[in-house]
Structure formats: C-alpha cells, structure tokens
C-alpha cells in the first residue's frame, strides 16, 4: 500500500502488475519471429526486419540489454532471408532461415551451414541439432519429417526415426531434453506405432514407449517447465503434460477462442511454472487478452499480466531477471507504439495526484495496471469506483475528479 497527503489523502493498494518497459525501445521496421537470450544478457532477434534503430540490419541482429544495437555482432555468412528460429546453447548461436540452418560462435563466426529449410529445431546435450518439417528424403537418404545433424553440421545417417506416414503430415515443434526429443505436429504415427501428434524419441531414433502423449492437432510449440512437465501449444489448446505424456490434471487446459482462426503458436514457461502464450487470438477468460497471455500454474488466467498487442505475437523469451520479451508483427502494446519487439516488466503501480483547480484533482497510474480506481469520503469505509472515464496518454491513465468538500480517499484496487 502507498499512502501520501497532498491536499487530501491518497491511498493505493494493488499487487504487482506487468507493464511495458518504457526504457526499452528498440525500433524495427519489420516483424520479429525469433528471440534468444545469451548468458551475458544480450538479446538475439530474428525476423523480416531490415533496419534497427535507424541502422541497416537485415533478418538477424544482437541487441544490448537496453535495446541498443550491438554493432560488434556482424556475422559473415548470415541468413539472406527472414529468420524463423534462434537457439543459444553452450554459447553457440543456432539460426534457422529458408536458406538453411547455421551455427555461429558467440562472436558471430560461422561454424557451419546446412542448406535446408526446416520448420522446427532444437539442440541436444552433444551439440547435435534435431530438426523437423515436412520431408521424406534429404539428399539421397530417407528421413521422414525429422532428422539430426552431427556436431559438425553434417547429416547424421544413423538417426532415422519415422514420424508420420502420409503426405500432409509433418513436425512443427521439437523440444530436446538431454539427448531425447519431444516432437509435435500433425501426424498419426511414430516409427509405425500410433502416436497422435505428440511423441518422444530417444537418442538412437527409437520411440519411447513409456511416453504416451496424445494431443489436439496441430502442435505448434513445446516448452519444458522447471519441474519436468511439458507445456504444449496446439492451434486451439494450451495444455500441460506429465513426464509420461499424460495430461496433467492439475492444469486446466485453455482454449484459444471461439473462432477457427484463433490459434496459439508459441509458449514458454517462467521459472515459477507460469506459461506465457502468444499467437493470433482474442479470447475472454474473465478478461480479454489479445495475442499474448499469461496463466497461473493451474491454468487460470493471470490477471496481473494485462498486456495487449495489436498484432500477432510469434516469439517470447524470459530474461534472467524475470522480464519478458515478446516479438511479432504488432505495432502497439497497450496502445503504445512498439514495432515487432517489446519488453514487459513487473512493477508495483503507484497512484499519483496533482491539483487541477476548482476543487478538482488529477489522478494518474500506469496504463498496464489491471486495477480499478476507487474512492470514498473521509471517515467512511464504503469504497466505490470513480465514475469519471480515464484517458490513456503515452502509457499513463489520467482521471480528473472532484475532491471538493471534506476531501476524499482514493485507491487502486487490483483485479
């Protein structure tokens, strides 16, 4: 609770809320579809952009923690087309684009380039890249929808799992744990056994028969929680699985919305187990959320994360301090201009007051706060919402209200 006296007593009580970080304002001229955080806090971004902060920089860039461009990162052999995914593992930077998969060291030196477009990939504990998509052959070798590269970036001929059997089936999501890989997508079988859109394969390519995952199609994203569970974002459903593949009954599955066009496309897990999901959706789970939402560990909507983008969110990353980076094709966040990239931070909202003359006061608070402005008379315990409509100006909400007479108390009450 925050209290102060300025002509009258002002009192605000709320819980911490997520809001836009106004100090992080990287300016891009296009969409962001991939974000990865290095151990030193620097931020790798990929997408369709060609300019960052007024400086030509196409498809792949590295930012400093404040959003400024890291000009020391200028890799030779960088992708010549939009970047769809970035994974940082053991200091190496792995990048996917239509013109192939690449690995760079932390300084940007190209280690290898595998000239194949893939839909999804991850990196195992031996620095091998497991990737997936829709294919049945790579060069002269048979590989159906999933394959692996050696640590040197060459095709691993010993790894030949068969995911799916028919045209139209494929892999959209891969999550590696150790040397095993969870695969999700649109398929009905794994190595000839029934596996509805979600399976686990071992380091030798065999199916893990102890994993009995079944999911809604198609799977677009997978993420691990700190306690060993798996979050799954399908087109219409966000669910959580136990380590054996069964649905976790402690997490209420979430629907993307009522329209067939609504979809979840990416999910990450915070260290506290809360999932953050992005995509193309606008649903009302007690409160409207557009394109990005956070849920509690039981699947209920997290009301403290009231963030709205005006366009698709395709990438999410959580920084070491808990701040959340989101990327996509949006141009505003909570009505504030941000093109393709934004940082969300957690703050305790503060209610401020200023005299406005004629017995009026101006009250202001962060626009991202999911809270109601309430008032009551002095020496009265009955609180009611302030009737005056607020206006949003540059991320701050303002209300002009009469405080004439004996004075009034004001507070922000978290929803």
Residue 399 makes CB contacts below 8 A (sequence gap 6+) with 362, 363, 364, 373, 386, 388, 389, 390, 391
Query: What's the CA gap between 326 and 260, in Å, rounded?
Result: 24
DSSP for 121-170 reads EEE-TTSPEEEE-S-SEETTEE-BSEEEE-TTS-B-TT---BB--STT-E
Q: Which superfamily, per CATH, for 18-27+120-347?
A: YVTN repeat-like/Quinoprotein amine dehydrogenase (2.130.10.10)
User: Residue 389: which pLDDT band, with cuts at 50, 70 and 90?
Assistant: confident
Spell out the alpha helix ranges (H) of 34-135.
Answer: none
| Domain segments of the chain as ranges | 2-13+352-414, 18-27+120-347
Closest CA to 8 of 390, 315, 411, 329: 411
Query: What's the CA gap between 142 and 153, in Å, rounded?
Result: 18
What pLDDT, on the 0 to 100 scale, is given for residue 234? 95
DSSP for 326-376 reads EEES-SEETTEE--SEEEEEEE----EEEEEETTEEEEEEETT--EEEEEE
More confident residue, 296 or 393: 296
Q: How far is CA 157 from CA 112, 130, 147, 160, 218, in A?
A: 18, 13, 9, 7, 28
pLDDT, tens digit (0-9, with 9 covering 90-100), for 251-287: 999 988 767 788 999 999 999 999 999 999 987 555 6
Coil/strand/helix, residue 311: coil
Q: Is the pLDDT of residue 14 over 80?
A: no
Mean of pLDDT values over 366-392 = 82
Q: The tokens of 28 are what?
A: 């891009």
What pLDDT, on the 0 to 100 scale, is given for residue 241? 97
In terms of pTM, does the model score above 0.75? yes
Q: The tokens of 55 are what?
A: 């400086």
What pLDDT, on the 0 to 100 scale, is given for residue 9? 44
Q: The tokens of 108 are what?
A: 């940007």
What pLDDT, on the 0 to 100 scale, is given for residue 8? 42
Mean pLDDT of the chain: 90
**What percent of the chain has pLDDT above 70?**
93
Query: What's the CA gap between 181 and 124, in Å, rounded?
Result: 8
Q: The tokens of 216 are what?
A: 């809604």
Query: What's the CA gap between 410 and 361, in Å, rounded?
Result: 11
Q: Are the CB atoms for 9 and 336 separated by under 8 Å?
A: no
What pLDDT, on the 0 to 100 scale, is given for residue 288? 77
Mean of pLDDT values over 159-173 = 97
Query: What's the CA gap between 243 and 187, in Å, rounded?
Result: 21
Three-class SS of 250-276: CCCCEECCCCCCCEEEEEEECCCCCEE
DSSP for 228-256 reads S-EEEEESSEEEEE-TTS-B-TTS--EE-
Mean of pLDDT values over 27-40 = 97
- Residue 176: φ, ψ to 5°: -100, 135
Coil/strand/helix, residue 8: coil
What pLDDT, on the 0 to 100 scale, is given for residue 250? 98
Residue 34 makes CB contacts below 8 A (sequence gap 6+) with 44, 45, 46, 47, 83, 84, 85, 86, 95, 96, 314, 315, 327
pLDDT, tens digit (0-9, with 9 covering 90-100), for 83-96: 999 999 999 999 99
More confident residue, 359 or 293: 293
Of 110-114, 186-190, 373-377, the one with minimum mean pLDDT is 373-377
Query: What's the CA gap between 345 and 319, in Å, rounded?
Result: 10
Closest CA to 188 of 161, 222, 214: 214
Closest CA to 98 of 111, 113, 110: 113
pLDDT, tens digit (0-9, with 9 covering 90-100), for 300-318: 999 889 899 999 999 999 9
pLDDT, tens digit (0-9, with 9 covering 90-100), for 97-129: 999 999 999 999 999 999 999 999 999 999 999
Query: What's the CA gap between 413 and 415, in Å, rounded?
Result: 6
Query: What's the CA gap between 93 and 85, in Å, rounded?
Result: 11
In a 10 Å sphere around its CB, with 0-12 CB exposed, 13-18 middle and 19+ buried, how is residue 9 labelled? middle
């Amino acid at each position: 609770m925050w209290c102060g006296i300025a002509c009258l007593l002002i009192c605000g009580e709320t819980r911490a809320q997520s809001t836009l970080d106004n100090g992080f304002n990287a300016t891009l001229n296009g969409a962001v579809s991939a974000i990865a955080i290095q151990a030193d806090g620097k931020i790798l971004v990929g997408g369709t952009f060609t300019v960052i902060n007024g400086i030509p920089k196409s498809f792949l860039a590295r930012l400093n923690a404040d959003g400024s461009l890291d000009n020391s990162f200028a890799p030779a052999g960088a992708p010549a087309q939009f970047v769809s995914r970035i994974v940082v593992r053991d200091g190496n930077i792995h990048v996917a684009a239509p013109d192939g998969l690449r690995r760079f060291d932390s300084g940007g030196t190209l280690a290898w380039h595998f000239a194949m477009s893939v839909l999804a990939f991850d990196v195992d504990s031996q620095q091998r890249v497991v990737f997936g998509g829709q294919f049945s052959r790579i060069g002269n070798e048979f590989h159906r929808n999933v394959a692996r590269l050696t640590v040197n970036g060459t095709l691993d001929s010993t790894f030949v799992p068969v995911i799916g059997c028919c045209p139209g089936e494929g892999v959209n999501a891969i999550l590696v744990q150790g040397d095993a890989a969870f695969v999700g997508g649109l398929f009905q079988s794994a190595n000839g056994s029934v596996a509805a859109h979600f399976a686990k394969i071992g380091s030798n390519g065999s199916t893990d028969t102890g994993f009995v995952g079944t999911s809604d199609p198609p799977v677009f994203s997978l993420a691990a929680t700190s306690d060993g569970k798996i979050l799954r974002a399908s087109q219409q459903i966000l669910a959580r699985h136990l380590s054996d593949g069964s649905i976790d009954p402690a997490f209420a599955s979430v629907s993307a919305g009522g329209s067939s066009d609504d979809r979840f496309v990416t999910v990450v897990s915070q260290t506290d187990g809360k999932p953050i999901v992005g995509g193309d959706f606008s649903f009302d789970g007690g409160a409207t959320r557009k394109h990005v939402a956070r849920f509690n560990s039981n699947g209920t909507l997290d009301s403290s994360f009231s963030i709205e983008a005006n366009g698709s969110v395709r990438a999410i990353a959580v920084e070491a301090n808990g701040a959340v980076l989101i990327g996509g094709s949006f141009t505003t966040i909570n009505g504030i201009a941000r093109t393709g990239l934004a940082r969300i931070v957690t703050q305790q909202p503060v209610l401020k007051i200023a005299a406005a003359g004629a017995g009026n006061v101006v009250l202001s608070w962060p626009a991202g706060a999911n809270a109601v402005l309430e008032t009551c008379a002095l020496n009265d315990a009955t609180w009611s919402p302030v009737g005056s409509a607020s206006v949003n100006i540059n991320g701050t909400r303002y209300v002009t209200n009469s405080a004439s007479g004996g004075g009034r108390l004001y507070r922000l009450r978290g929803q």
